[in-house]
Amino acid sequence: MKIRKADIVLIVVCMLTAVLVFAVLLMHRHEGNVVRISSDGEVLAEIAFEVTGTQRYLIWRKDGSMTVESCGEDSPVPEQEAYNLLSVSDGVVRMEAADCRDQICVRHRAVSAAGESIICLPHKLVIEIMIGAGYEGLADEERMDNGITADDLQESTDEALDGVVE
């Protein structure tokens, strides 16, 4: 048995598709300013962040329901419960720590562009970067793409932040 021409064509086509999709995604890249945290399909919080400064959020199951808590440098990591520690630093979001079994979310590269996400499958947690109100340029267009209006976002951000203990 030998490698056939069709095999080479297939490999080249696959690689070209990958490069092409990557290029298209790169061209449509916009820095985000809202991070949405959802668990099992339910939005827990939508937090607007600035391009400077550091914030950390601890996501864990508190009294039976998933909660997002703002925390400082010395984060109170729960010993028994499953947790994820998210850090937002200078407009870049990354999963700082988690006690999930595969640690894929922790090793995931930091995200900052709208549409990028960090997924923690064992904890069914999704961190998404979005573009929210107050963003210049393509904000409206992007919001329409996401199906979210400025009012929706403001409302949900307010609600989400009610639960956030400063």
Partner 1 sequence: MKKTAEMGLFLALALILSYVESLLPLSFGIPGIKLGLPNLIVVLLLYQGDARQAGLVNFLRIMLSGFLFSNLYGILYALAGAVLSFMAMLLGKRTGWFSIVGVSVLGGVLHNIGQILVAMVVVETFYVGYYIPFLIAAGTVTGAVLGIVAMELVPYLRKVSLERGSEDTR
Query: According to CB under 8 A, which one of 37, 49, 83, 116 is a site residue for partner 1?
Result: 116
Radius of gyration of the chain (CA): 19
Within 10 angstroms of residue 39's Cβ, the number of other Cβ atoms is: 20
Does position 6 interact with partner 1 (CB under 8 A)? The reply is yes
DSSP assignment string, 99-132: --SS-HHHHSPPB-BTT-EEEETTTTEEEEEE--
Tell me the closest approach of the beta carbon of residue 122 to partner 1, in angstroms: 8
Q: State the DSSP code for 23.
A: H
- Options 7, 50, 145, 159; binder of partner 1; rule CB under 8 A: 7
CB atoms near residue 76 (< 10 Å): 11
Scanning 35-43, 44-52, 57-65, 72-80 for contacts with partner 1 by CB under 8 A, the matching segment is 35-43
Residues between 50 and 69 that touch partner 1 (CB under 8 A): none
Does the protein bind partner 1 through residue 165 (CB under 8 A)?
Answer: no
Stretch that binds partner 1, among 33-41, 47-55, 63-71, 151-159 (CB under 8 A): 33-41
**Which residues have CB under 8 Å from 124's CB, separation 6+?**
39, 40
**CA–CA distance, 166 with 148 (Å, rounded to integer):** 27
138 makes contact with partner 1 (CB under 8 A): no
Token readout for 126 is 């999704």
Q: Is 25 in the site for partner 1 (CB under 8 A)?
A: yes
Residues making contact with partner 1 (CB under 8 A): 1-4, 6-7, 10-11, 14-15, 17-19, 21-22, 25, 38, 40-41, 102-104, 107-109, 115-117, 119, 121-122, 124-126, 128
